[in-house]
């Protein structure tokens, strides 16, 4: 079964925002933004692997990430360019570590 990665333009804006509106998922996105491509297992944010898998699914189905199999692992990467094209500024705004006052 292929991992259902929709066209970003086909995903409602609210779904994209909802996907980003969670602490764990935001940490994943931030890690991906810096790290490039990473295996699912390299994320450890204090949740079970079931939960982690769930969050990665939400991100994938919101059109934010792409996943490809590599052995027993799955490599995840951020759809950086598409995101910036369709929602310019969104990623930067969200990724900002904490804008100094």
Partner DNA sequence: ACCCTTGTTCGACAACTGTCGAACAAGCTC
Partner DNA sequence: GAGCTTGTTCGACAGTTGTCGAACAAGGGT
Instruction: Tell me how far, at minimum, the Cβ of 88 lies from DNA, in Å.
Output: 25
Task: Please say whether the beta carbons of 83 and 90 come within 8 A.
Answer: yes
The site partner of 49 among a copy of itself, DNA, none (C-beta below 5 to 8 Å per kind) is DNA
Nearer to DNA, 12 or 100 (CB): 12
SS3 2: coil
Nearer to a copy of itself, 9 or 48 (CB): 9
Instruction: Tell me how far, at minimum, the Cβ of 1 lies from DNA, in Å.
Output: 6
Tokens representing 30 are: 């931030």
Would you report the helix, strand and coil content of the chain in percent, each value rounded to 5?
50, 15, 35
For DNA, the binding residues (CB under 7 A) are 1, 3, 18, 21-24, 39-41, 46-58, 67, 69, 71-74
Tokens representing 1 are: 């079964």
Nearer to a copy of itself, 71 or 99 (CB): 99
């Amino acid at each position: 079964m292929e991992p259902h990665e929709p066209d970003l333009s086909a995903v409602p804006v609210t779904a994209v925002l909802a996907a980003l509106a969670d602490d764990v998922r935001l940490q994943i996105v931030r890690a991906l933004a810096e790290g490039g491509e990473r295996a699912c297992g390299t994320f450890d944010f204090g949740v079970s692997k079931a939960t982690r898998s769930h969050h990665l699914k939400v991100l994938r189905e919101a059109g934010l990430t792409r996943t490809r199999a590599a052995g027993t692992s799955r490599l995840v990467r951020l759809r950086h360019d598409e995101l910036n094209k369709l929602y310019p500024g969104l990623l930067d705004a969200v990724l900002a570590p904490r804008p100094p006052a």
